[in-house]
Amino acid sequence: MQRRPRLPPKPRTVERKVEQDPVEVFCRIRPAEIPGQEECIAEVDSRTVKLTPPNSSFAYRNGSAKEQLYKFERVFGPSSSQKELFSRVAMPLVSDLVNGRNGLLFAYGVTGSGKTYTMQGTPQDGGIIRRTLDVLFNSIQDYQASRFTFRPDGMNGFDAQSEVEAQNDRRKAAATPRLRPMAGGRTTRGRKDPPGSQDSSQRIPDTSRINSVDEDNVYSVFISYIEIYNNYLYDLLEELPETGPSRGLQTKIIREDAQHNMYVHACTEVEVKSPEDGLEVLYRGLKRRKIASTRLNCESSRSHSIFTIRLLQAPLDAQGEDVVTDKSAIVVSQLSLVDLAGSERNLRTKAAGDRIKEAGNINNSLMNLRICIEILRENQETGGNKKVPYRDSKLTHYFKNFFDGDGKVRMVVCVNPRSDDYDETLTVMKFAELASEVQIQRSQPARRDLGLPPGRRRANQLFKEVRKKLEDEVEGAGVEALEVDLAPIYSLAPDWPVLTSSTPGGLEEVISRLKAHLRKRLQSRERLEKNFWGTVAAMRSGIAEMEKENLVMKKELTSMRALYSDAMGRVRSLENLLHNAESANESLQRKLEDQAFLRDECEAVKEERDMAKVQSQIEKQRMKAKLRTKLEQEKMKLKSTLNTELHHQKSKIYQSQVKALKQALFSDKQTVPTAPLQPSTTSSSDTDLTAIPDKTPIKASTSDPKLNMTPASHRTPAVVNLRHRRSRSQGSDVWIDHRPTQGEVLPTAGGGAQVVLRDVEILHQRDPLHHQSTPNRKRSSTEGTPLQDRGVWGSQKRPRV
């Protein structure tokens, strides 16, 4: 086994002390919606809150309910004002923005806890965004650059233009019609306009200002407004065409610039010159922001909104007249004001459809923010180097630089004292406690000293005033040749005194004036020498510090080179592995292509077989239909033939039966003339027979009314079988003769004969299983009834001849 190369020691950076600041977390308690309602949170003092679990909370039902105390940088109770919160939380961030530092402010909390109100407020009582615009423009109003002096370069930077170029751009902008920014925007039906978006006359501006403003710089403000909806970035200020197809807002991507700063590519940045312009941009974005009505909030934010203010400052030239166009001299600072969507549970909001998807993405992004904060704290406590998953969500990816030390981070935790929100508020408090333990590296403004004298703007203004006065006094004679000279002038003393004297006693006076003048020169000389040597000492100490830092940087460079060489070795080994993997991938790709070709061939053969099968099924169905038609025709033909044959056969059978019946009836020494009978043309059952005389009257037939005819005068006696049998009764020695009595034989409608008996023998027999104890047994309807009372027995059987 090969031994792993020993890693070089990590560079020692103990000599360079890095200053860090914690993430400052503030708490704001919303006033109760209903006076006297049960509350789960209360303000203990200016930095502590107490969280009490109600009876309906999960912790109380689980048996782990207890009061908990949480500390913050400052707690703003229900009676606190917007002005008080802004002065403590956001005012230092605006000061850092003017001084060239970056800042990030979050509004975090449960849905319906007052985050949007804290960030925006109302026209009469503005929130953080409105007051930030007021204070910023109050501070830089007199030092703003003209419009189009700075232009975005599309790569998170800006270019400075001369006054002539800016004038041309202003002329083009005035001649170009402005696109309607709201065409095709993603708005919500039935949504009300933001407060104050239509009427700004009721707005009460904030009159505060920042005093630490460099008068020798010019300033320009650019605003962008984006939202993160379902983990996608949208530019709320994107200009869409008024005509043509409506395509809506397009998703944006996050990129990294040359200084490794994250920015939204192709994001619209609007230059504003007053708070009113900034508020107009804010209202345009608010109309496009995604909101919806839920069970807990009628206007719930369904996305994270990021309102970004970028302040550009560039120095004036040595004359204090024009802007320095060197791109490296421009300082860009940024303040991002974030209104996070509130975390929520679907069990309480009763969300459905798109609301469930939105809530899931909101909770996932907030969870990833919590994970990043936890890993940052773990790395700082243990000294580890665990990777922070910034790229798992757009929110943390966009603000990666702030957590890596590119600005100050503050958070306002908004809570609702309603007892129903206890479980969600507990999670928010734990996250706030976790975030307050994270340390962020303190950033320093990247200012470049160009060696320009201070106060040049003021000197230029004074020169212009003096020049104007001279023009008014001398009517412009020779004034045009005057130029301002701001170079520093060093003088030891005023001009020399007069050294001549016309009187003899004046020599002493001249000598005294000369001594006084020399004393002043000596004092000035000593002062200048002192300042000089102080400057030299400061310069030497600065050079010594630079040499120390240079040595440290050299050591770090050596260590970094060793790490770089080791990393390059690993990279080469990984490249070899990658090459082998690519070769294997190409082989597998070729196999996959071969398999795909075989699959295509098999699919083609299968399609041909399926087509043949379908064609054969079609032919089969056609043949079946043809044979079925032919079969029906043959069946109809055969049925017709059979019906004809059946008719003839029935006629023959009928005639034979009638002949046999006549022979049976007139066989007793009587001769009955036979006449040929013709069958009925309607039915074989409807037949007219020759009447048979008989002495005994015949009862009416109940089976066929056609047989109820008047008998003829001549009738013969019925055919009687003279043979009979005898039988002995069971259990006795009596013999019984079974002799048929005289009866009548009549034809039936079905072609048979019906025998009507005149005398019936009655036989009585007792059931041996019958018992007297069961008198209620169900008896048949004919039990105990004589046979002659049960009706006439008839037989439909044909008589045997």
110 labeled part of a ligand binding site: yes
Phi then psi dihedrals of residue 237, to 5 deg: -110, 15
With contact defined as beta carbons under 8 Å apart, do 212 and 255 qualify? no
Evaluated on CA atoms 263, 268, 273, 274, the torsion sign reads negative
DSSP for residue 95 = H
H/E element holding 523? helix 506-665
How far apart (Å, rounded) are the C-alpha atoms in residues 448 and 313? 12
113 labeled part of a ligand binding site: yes
752 labeled part of a ligand binding site: no
Amino acid at 731: G
Evaluated on CA atoms 347, 351, 357, 361, the torsion sign reads negative
Buried b (16+ CB within 10 A) or exposed e, 767-801: eeeeeeeeeeeeeeeeeeeeeeeeeeebeeeeeee
Closest residue by Cα to residue 340 from 462, 242, 432, 464: 432
116 labeled part of a ligand binding site: yes
DSSP for residue 476 = T
109 labeled part of a ligand binding site: yes
DSSP for residue 90 = I
112 labeled part of a ligand binding site: yes
How far apart (Å, rounded) are the C-alpha atoms in residues 233 and 298? 24
Closest residue by Cα to residue 28 from 437, 439, 432: 432
Count the Cβ atoms, other than its own, within 10 Å of residue 492: 12
How far apart (Å, rounded) are the C-alpha atoms in residues 412 and 28? 7
With contact defined as beta carbons under 8 Å apart, do 100 and 447 qualify? yes
Query: Which two tokens mark 179?
Result: 């696109």
Q: Which residues pair with 481 in a beta bridge?
A: none
Q: How far apart are the first and last CA of the chain?
A: 120
Closest residue by Cα to residue 153 from 252, 222, 229: 222
How far apart (Å, rounded) are the C-alpha atoms in residues 792 and 37? 99
Closest residue by Cα to residue 11 from 441, 569, 554, 376: 554
Q: Coil, helix or strand for 719?
A: coil
554 labeled part of a ligand binding site: no
Count the Cβ atoms, other than its own, within 10 Å of residue 764: 6
In this structure, the strands spanning 304-315 and 217-229 are antiparallel
Max Cα-Cα span within the chain: 218
Count the Cβ atoms, other than its own, within 10 Å of residue 443: 21
| Cα angle, residue 395 at apex, residues 393 and 397 outer, rounded to 5° | 70
How far apart (Å, rounded) are the C-alpha atoms in residues 525 and 334? 47
- What 168-171 contacts at long range (C-beta under 8 Å, 24+ apart), as own/partner pairs, is 170/146
How far apart (Å, rounded) are the C-alpha atoms in residues 149 and 141? 16
How far apart (Å, rounded) are the C-alpha atoms in residues 477 and 312? 41
Helix, strand, coil distribution of the chain in percent, nearest 5? 40, 15, 45
What burial class does residue 374 get, using C-beta atoms within 10 Å of its C-beta: 0-12 exposed, 13-18 middle, 19+ buried?
Answer: middle
Question: In the block, which residue shows the tokens 């501006």?
Answer: 205
With contact defined as beta carbons under 8 Å apart, do 53 and 422 qualify? yes
With contact defined as beta carbons under 8 Å apart, do 334 and 224 qualify? no
Binding residue ranges for ATP:
109-116
Binding residue ranges:
109-116
